[in-house]
Amino acid sequence: VFIAQSRASGSHRDLEDEELTRIFVMIPKTYTEEDLREKFKMYGDIEYCSIIKNKTTGESKGLGYVRYLKPSQAAQAIEECDRSYRAILAEPKNKSSESFEHDYYSNSMRPELRGNTLPFCMQPEFCSFEKADTRIQEPVSKRLSVVSRLPFIQEQLFALFDLVPGLEYCDVQRDPHTNSGYAVIQYSTAASAIYAKYKLHGFEYPPGNRLTVIFLEDGNDSSE
């Protein structure tokens, strides 16, 4: 599965180069670039490997990049390599490498959420949001209300919200008088619900139809 780019953007190869073929890994500080290549060559054709070093001492920071020729190879490496490497897709080169390293270290040292192959703590966007976003003033919960001008299809809405790990149920209801859509979504943790609201409130689904996502009281202490 690939994310389509707009026709106005650059070539497909440019998109792959920037976002889909480089992975970022945590490695022993004793690793050489040849060691890194040897560990990851089983997943596909490697274009290059590089180890991030301290600019002053020249010593390895215990982090490295592996770039494959195909996005599918990078995806396979992330999925199948030993979890100790904590492999993720690398940030685009236009992001400060120091900033990305800092995010990666702070995120990868946190306990992983159970249940999904790619927990939120491995996604820098979620971690920075979780730590830094202090704007949430409304009571939060594990349950969400989703409203739309158009009626929902149960399977499609479930698939959309299931992109966020921890979905427990999706209950679609329909108002026969207005033909609008209404659904109740519940996650296993408030963190998942917060992230789903953050990402999907205002999301156009289908295109041109914006979703309204708000918290619903779930009977738990929202301060927790």
Domain's final residue, options 89, 106, 126:
89
Note whether residue 126 is domain-resident.
no
Which of 179, 182, 216 is closest to 197 using CA atoms?
Answer: 216
Q: Give me the mean pLDDT over the 184-198 stretch.
A: 90
Note whether residue 203 is domain-resident.
yes
Host H or E run for residue 100: helix 97-108
- Count of structural domains, the chain: 2
Tens digits of residue pLDDT in 20-76:
889 999 999 999 999 999 999 999 999 999 999 988 899 999 999 999 998 889 889
Q: Whole-angstrom distance between the N-terminal and C-terminal Cα of the chain?
A: 36
Q: What CATH number did the domain enclosing 154 receive?
A: 3.30.70.330
Range of the domain at 45: 17-89
The predicted pLDDT at position 211 comes to: 92
Q: Give the predicted TM-score (pTM) of the model.
A: 0.42
